[in-house]
Amino acid sequence: MASATASISSHSVSLRDLKAARVGAVKQQVAAVPARSQRARAVRPLRAAEPARQPVSASAASAPAAPVAEEATAAAAAPAPAVDYDALAQELQGASPLEIMDRALALFGSDIAIAFSGAEDAALIEYAKLTGRPFRVFSLDTGRLNPETYQLFDKVEKHYGVHIEYTFPDAGEVQELVRAKGLFSFYEDGHQECCRVRKVRPLRRALRGLRAWITGQRKDQSPGTRASIPVVQVDPSFEGLDGGAGSLIKWNPVANVEGKDVWTFLRTMDVPVNALHAQGYVSIGCEPCTRPVLPGQHEREGRWWWEDAKAKECGLHKGNIDKEGQAAHKAGGVNGGNGTGGAGVPDIFQSHDVVSLTRAGVENLMRLENRAEPWLVVLYAPWCPFCQAMEASYVELAEKLAGGGSGSSSGVKVAKFRADGDQKAFAQAELQLQSFPTILLFPSRTARPIKYPSERRDVDSLLAFVNSLR
């Protein structure tokens, strides 16, 4: 496939490019522009300050100025009209990523840059190239990235003729953390401290040299925390070049695009991607904190897998965490027989083959030492994206164990117990709950339940677990 770069350099965009660039269903012609050199795109370092203004001499101040010069000076001094970014977000809600990217680059010129690390960000660079406008790219090198990620950086620079502006953590802060707590302290006390040193603080320094930045956040990446991302916003967490609240604008061109459509675009446009994607990795971060995603798992489950689902954010986008949704998750509390608690959060695992247990039902199940049949129970929270990801496989398993319409039941009961809110402490103390989802098998002749040890939640793996212990 001819590269998209070749299409631009020949001053034409093929029908394939136009069709692929319209993820989001917005038609837009791409203006043909002459190819730009790598030097032309490296406009200014991220941390560059505004050029200092020279003082006006007394003689120059007293000399009469031409009317045209006065008008030009007045025009240059006039402040730019204020932009209502909430209204702009509404205006662009149905726009394609290409249109959103074009608007961002047109508004901010060399004062905006694309944050690059993964697949969505590679798509952003392709969209930026298709606009025909100059653009900048920066990336955080944490010092713990996979070799394949560094190889991707090199491929992207060569493919697009851009110079990625790398930002690094403070060496003294990294040294202090590692000397005090070791190289892998995040496995014991959480990833937030390491991410603050290696990612959040370097990003904060980098953004102080910009007035806007462009990210690859999508709403479907993490439904529990990113479901309300707008396509453009005043950044709620970081400051820009002018300093103070409201000094930085954040653009999220693919916020409304599903992951599968991003990948269709990447393949169609022959965009370079991380070689780890072919090995089962979906969301890719630092090497110690990233692993392949297993069947039935949500893409973010490959990140910080030893922590609870709601903690799977590094802090770069903390301002986009849906706090109202998290409050609903915590309040969606007392588990009753109807299984619909939690304001605005629909229940999951809805099937006549899945029994909805109350706490009293679970306690009765625990007291029985000789059960008539084994019970498979999932401890879940309906807001958890990892529970949502395994819903289809768990319901299918329940149907199979119930006989699947054949009339021959396996003799295994399949159930669910909502274990968040007020029930979480009980589930942690009595049901081995550490994170959602947790799957337990209550054998027919053993009082204590057996916890499913694997994170493979496909039908065959769950069925093998049940059959080995029934």
Which amino acids are annotated catalytic? 384, 387
Is residue 237 packed enough to be buried (19+ CB in 10 Å), middle (13-18) or exposed (0-12)? middle
Please report, in angstroms and rounded to a whole number, the separation of the first and last CA atoms in the chain: 53
DSSP code per residue over 160-183: HT---EEE---HHHHHHHHHHH-T
* Beta carbons within 8 Å of 63's beta carbon, 6+ residues apart: none
| H or E element at residue 416 | strand 413-418
Q: Are 135 and 128 in contact (CB under 8 A)?
A: yes
User: What percent of the residues of the chain are helix, what percent strand, and what percent coil, each to the nearest 5?
Assistant: 40, 10, 50
Strand-pair category, 450-451 with 438-442 = antiparallel
* CA gap 271, 103 in Å, rounded: 22
* Beta carbons within 8 Å of 167's beta carbon, 6+ residues apart: 46, 138, 139, 140, 141, 202, 203, 205, 206
Q: Which of 262, 256, 234 is nearest to 247 (CA)?
A: 234
